[in-house]
Amino acid sequence: QKEVEQNSGPLSVPEGAIASLNCTYSDRGSQSFFWYRQYSGKSPELIMFIYSNGDKEDGRFTAQLNKASQYVSLLIRDSQPSDSATYLCAVNTDTGRRALTFGSGTRLQVQP
């Protein structure tokens, strides 16, 4: 079992819709959770981070964390074609390497 799992996609949504990106993780001791956006040929760019159960909102982005279910998600409201990218979920494990483990990413396509 991979430590951090994401559906590779592509996830295709129409412009203006809500895009929902999901991530599950295996280490129950995980404490910190991050979403990065990566455009093709570019470096990962931090979008959101969340440490506590519940929702955290920043503009059109909402991160949701459920530690009991070992699940973290990213919602993008009013999706724009410029949101088309690969979204990487990253989890900081509290054991072992004590460093970020990245999922393989979900490719999002927003159709105009």
Binding region for another protein (CB under 8 A): 31-32, 34, 36, 42-46, 49, 51, 88, 92, 97-105
Of 13 and 47, CB closest to another protein: 47
**3-class DSSP state of 90:** strand
Q: What is the CA radius of gyration of the chain?
A: 13
Q: Cα dihedral sign for 4, 59, 75, 51?
A: positive
Kindly state the smallest distance separating residue 98's Cβ from another protein, in Å. 6
Of 68 and 99, CB closest to another protein: 99
d(CA 1, CA 16): 35
Of 88 and 110, CB closest to another protein: 88
Kindly state the smallest distance separating residue 82's Cβ from another protein, in Å. 19
Kindly state the smallest distance separating residue 17's Cβ from another protein, in Å. 27
Among residues 30, 31, 29, 19, the alpha carbon closest in space to that of 86 is found at: 19
Kindly state the smallest distance separating residue 93's Cβ from another protein, in Å. 9
d(CA 71, CA 82): 26
Of 73 and 92, CB closest to another protein: 92
| Tokens 């483990």, residue located | 101
